[in-house]
Amino acid sequence: MNGYEVGFWRHEPVADQEALVLAQATLRFHEAVGGDWVKLTPAGTFQATSLGLVDEWAGDSLGRRRIVHRPVNGTADWAALAGRAAQTGLGAQEWVSADAASWLKARLPVPLLATVFSTLTQAVQLAGAEQVAACAQSNPDVLAACLQALGQRNLALVQALGEAGVDGVYYVSQHHEAHLWQQDMSRWLGWCFDAPAMGACPDRGWNVVHFHGRCDPGSLPVVSGVSTGWSVHGEGGVGADGSLGVGWLTLAPEVLASAADEASRLAVLHQAMAGRRGGRWRLGADCVLPLGFDLGQARRWVEAVRTLPPAPQR
């Protein structure tokens, strides 16, 4: 063990609509690529579809589904959403994820992570960013009720995933950075609505907060304080250590694809790790691999990481 762990993941479009098909596709990907963990990657809108969002597969290169209908289009819709979120149990796609996780855990020799989206990200999926910002200004109590209900749904999903045996949760934040908003959204960028679900995640050293974009360092202490056993994964570089003491080194898919030989891959790794110290690092892509990415190339990166000398200690 050289102090490095490595893994990749991708969407499995169309397959992600059925538990067994998604699980089998995920297992095939792991068998082709290898790695030290598996991340189960359902459709990016899998939670919001339980609350009236309609999506469709439209051939996206990353495997994402396109939103064709949002259930929130005005002030009156927010109250209806809050009630529906509070009263509706886990939906079909959420059970797809939990059932796929259960099937995989019986067959995997490595830890399994499952995806959950933050409450604010789900609100943006359900309404759009402009509607969220407008509600924050005009009806903050209604927005708070919605986020609280979404947080309880996340808790129920985390509990279902825990029963399925997952080793960690990959908690996705796509909208928790202040620069993404045109107004002051500081009240909504914390994690109070997500804390119950995050606190219920398995504490086995595999929980990850993913910032969809570069990490906002100001957000990390709040994340780290939710519970032990979290690392922080961000795009475009090195994620913060979080409370777990694990650093993430993330590489863009174009960088991963361009290294044509072993010497090139090792040169990229040595350059990226220059000056980094500490006992544990996780290496991978900065988000999902594109659908057309050469899986043989991904496996060669896994093998390259295996040849690295032990990580320097702090």
Distance in angstroms (rounded) separating the CA atoms of residues 6 and 265: 14
* Residue 7 DSSP SS3: coil
When pLDDT is averaged across residues 102-122 and rounded to a whole number, the result is 97
Distance in angstroms (rounded) separating the CA atoms of residues 218 and 221: 7
Residue 217: pLDDT over 70: no
The pLDDT score that the predictor gives to residue 25 is 98
The pLDDT score that the predictor gives to residue 212 is 77
Q: How deeply is 43 buried, as exposed, middle or buried, from its count of CB atoms within 10 A (0-12, 13-18, 19+)?
A: buried
147 contacts 192 by C-beta, under 8 angstroms: no
Distance in angstroms (rounded) separating the CA atoms of residues 161 and 94: 10
CA Rg, the chain, in Å?
Answer: 19
pLDDT band (50, 70, 90) for residue 221: very low
* Residue 284 DSSP SS3: strand
Chain mean pLDDT for the chain: 89
When pLDDT is averaged across residues 70-74 and rounded to a whole number, the result is 95
Q: Report percent pLDDT > 70 for the chain.
A: 89
When pLDDT is averaged across residues 51-56 and rounded to a whole number, the result is 98
Whats the size of the chain, residue-wise? Answer: 314
Look up residue 309 and give its amino acid.
P
178 contacts 222 by C-beta, under 8 angstroms: no
Structure tokens at 68: 């064709």
pLDDT band (50, 70, 90) for residue 222: low
pLDDT band (50, 70, 90) for residue 80: very high
List the domains of the chain with CATH numbers. 4-306 (3.20.20.210)
Distance in angstroms (rounded) separating the CA atoms of residues 275 and 269: 12
